[in-house]
Amino acid sequence: MEIKFEYTRKRSDFGRPCNFSDLPAEVTVDIPPDPSLAQGFIPQDPVDVALQHGPVMAVHEVNTERVQVTSRGVNHVEGGWPKHIDPRNTDMTSRYREEVERDEIYTRAILRLGTLMEHCIRQNNAINIYEEYFAEDEEEEGEEEPPSAKTISVLRDPNPVKRTATHLSWHPDACKELAVAYCSLEFQDKRRDISFDSYIWDLQNPYKPELTLMLSSPVVTLEYNPKDWHHLLGGCYNGQIVYWDTRKGGLPMETTPMELSHRDPVYGAIWLPSRTGTECFSASTDGQVLWWDIRKLSQPSERLVLDITREDQLKNALGAISLDFSLSMPTKFLVGTEQGSIINCNRDAKTPPEKIANVFNGHIGAVYAVARSPFYPKVFLSVGDWTARIWSEENLDSSSIMETKCHVPYLLDGCWSPVKPAVFFTAKSDGTLDVWDFLFHQKDPSLSLKVSNDPLLSLCPQDNGRIIGCGTKQGTVTLLEISPGLYTLRKNEKSLTSAMFEREARREKVLQDKQRELQVRAQLLAKAKEGEQEDPQEVFEQARADFFSVIKAERQRRGETES
């Protein structure tokens, strides 16, 4: 069958442009099926058909070049003047301004622009465009947001032989720089070409250190001076104390002599509040706490031996592996030891044994971190073995008032949130960062984030609590930005957290008193049993007297009844 359809048009329409329009569909040809043709077909059974539904994949490798960012200064010179006018000549510029101001075009332009500017100013004065009408609703919406965190930058050790990022310290001025102490804490590490340098990083240029701190021994801890931002304090692996002035480069200004320094690595070095801003103190695993003045580092100004027997003997001292000092309690400081004890020290005491005020026992391993709460000075956090614990100084003879569950990996560091009283961070040996909010969840962390495959050994949040730095065993420092719900202070959060700590402290005190009462009863019962075993004759006489007294009382009762 041949299907044809002829299109005809007038001769005058040839060459005219087409004018298309929308028309409904219409059937041009309809061919019905013919059953007689079915006999001419041979059925094929079975029929094998191969189909490929998977997309076509291709593997490509791209090696992008790393962008090197550099900081350069630009000297802006005033421009916009005609060539025959020297901008540095005030007479020429003033005469030119007068000529321009007398021009009618300039006057009309100023009048026209002045009207528009006046209209905009009146609008700004009439309506406050920055006013928040629904601040409470926005805050409630923020609370419902699930906790989260994202990586904003990664700082890597530039040396080929990687070392551990043992300590982090933010610059006091808006946290624009980060000082990182790099040191290998492995015993007798004999790797070749290992560097002893530590670095100061600028967050705007994460690919290259801003300043290299050079020294003959690796630095275990670094701390910025909150009063003089250019001074940086360091505790070395060989026990020395050193400080830098960043305005004068990366070479140290002065170092303590070896014979008067610590005998073991310095795990804690902190600045002290003073008029001059030059006093500091340090703690080491040799069992000593030394006070220094950077104006005279030839010898320590004061010395304390961490002997909890209060005999002031260095052979009985406990090794300090963490140190904490709070401005809210300027005479007290906390020391975490390798033996699992936390020592609360008072510098104002008259004698060295009296300076060890209290000892808290609870961990079965080294206390890697100890920190006072920035909101409640008598409450402090400790991290060691597999748990993190919260203590209260008011409960001297009891255990911790709160604690986390036992984790499978070790806990290696921890710190409080500087803006939320019930939030703290813990770092684990499997590379996980846990964010705890005890006001809402006490059994599990609010956020658990896998930061690295290497163990996390150091944590340090910014003053605003929004960004936290995490240092790993391979020297990588990851900067994480947490969600607003974890650094925004909620309404009544301080009072609720304070009530929670007080309630837990009272509960722990009641449990401790109950335990003491049971112990006293057990001791009295044991003494009674011992007395029975030692003098059986007295027990026999007492039983005999009781027996006859009962018989006598029964006879008297019966006689009264018969009468």
How far apart CA 198 and CA 331 sit, in angstroms, is 31
Q: Which two tokens stand for residue 162?
A: 């990687």
To which residue do tokens 């940086």 refer? 232
> What one-character-per-residue DSSP string does 432-492 give?
EEEEEETTT-SSS-SEEEE--SSPEEEEEE-TTSSEEEEEETTS-EEEEEE-GGGTSPPTT
Range name among 397-406, 433-442, 476-485 with the lowest pLDDT average? 397-406
User: For position 470, what pLDDT does the model report?
Assistant: 94
pTM: predicted TM-score of the whole model, two decimal places: 0.67
pLDDT bin (cut points 50, 70, 90) of residue 141 is: very low
User: For position 324, what pLDDT does the model report?
Assistant: 92
Angle at 561 between CA 555 and CA 563, to 5 degrees: 105
For residue 555, pLDDT beyond 70 = yes
Query: Chain-wide mean pLDDT for the chain?
Result: 86
pLDDT single digits (tens) 447-460: 999 999 999 999 99
pLDDT bin (cut points 50, 70, 90) of residue 270 is: very high
- Mean pLDDT on 403-421: 91
For residue 442, pLDDT beyond 50 = yes
Range name among 34-43, 265-274, 492-501 with the lowest pLDDT average? 34-43
User: For position 377, what pLDDT does the model report?
Assistant: 87
- C-alpha closest to that of 485 among 145, 140, 138: 145
Angle at 33 between CA 30 and CA 39, to 5 degrees: 155
For residue 163, CA distances in Å to 88, 160, 194, 284 come to 56, 9, 8, 20
Whether 213 and 248 have beta carbons less than 8 Å apart is answered as: no
For residue 295, pLDDT beyond 60 = yes
pLDDT bin (cut points 50, 70, 90) of residue 380 is: very high
149-155/379-384 β-pairing: unpaired
For residue 91, pLDDT beyond 50 = yes
User: For position 371, what pLDDT does the model report?
Assistant: 93
Contacts of 406 (CB under 8 A, 6+ apart): 386, 387
Range name among 119-123, 319-323, 424-428 with the lowest pLDDT average? 119-123
Range name among 39-53, 213-227, 418-432, 540-554 with the lowest pLDDT average? 39-53
User: For position 507, what pLDDT does the model report?
Assistant: 87
pLDDT bin (cut points 50, 70, 90) of residue 137 is: low
Cis peptide before 46 (omega within 30 of 0): yes
User: For position 561, what pLDDT does the model report?
Assistant: 62
- C-alpha closest to that of 235 among 264, 193, 274: 264
Range name among 74-83, 240-249, 258-267 with the lowest pLDDT average? 74-83
- Mean pLDDT on 81-90: 81
For residue 394, pLDDT beyond 50 = yes
How far apart CA 154 and CA 427 sit, in angstroms, is 17
| Domain assignments of the chain as residue spans, ordered by start | 149-511
For residue 370, pLDDT beyond 90 = yes
pLDDT bin (cut points 50, 70, 90) of residue 85 is: confident
Question: Is 149-511 a domain of CATH 2.130.10.10?
Answer: yes
- Mean pLDDT on 311-319: 86
Q: What percent of the chain has pLDDT over 70?
A: 95
User: For position 142, what pLDDT does the model report?
Assistant: 46
- Mean pLDDT on 43-69: 79
Burial class (CB in 10 A: 0-12, 13-18, 19+), 358: middle
User: For position 274, what pLDDT does the model report?
Assistant: 85
For residue 2, pLDDT beyond 90 = no
Range name among 175-179, 206-210, 349-353 with the lowest pLDDT average? 349-353
pLDDT single digits (tens) 144-180: 678 889 999 999 988 988 999 999 999 988 788 999 9
User: For position 136, what pLDDT does the model report?
Assistant: 57
User: For position 562, what pLDDT does the model report?
Assistant: 63
325 strand-pairing partners: 333
For residue 129, pLDDT beyond 80 = no
- Mean pLDDT on 30-49: 83
User: For position 553, what pLDDT does the model report?
Assistant: 85
Whether 335 and 384 have beta carbons less than 8 Å apart is answered as: no
- Mean pLDDT on 362-390: 91
Task: Convert 453-481 to b/e letters by CB count within 10 Å (16 or more is b).
Answer: ebbbbbbbbbeebbbbbbbbbebbbbbbb
For residue 424, pLDDT beyond 90 = yes
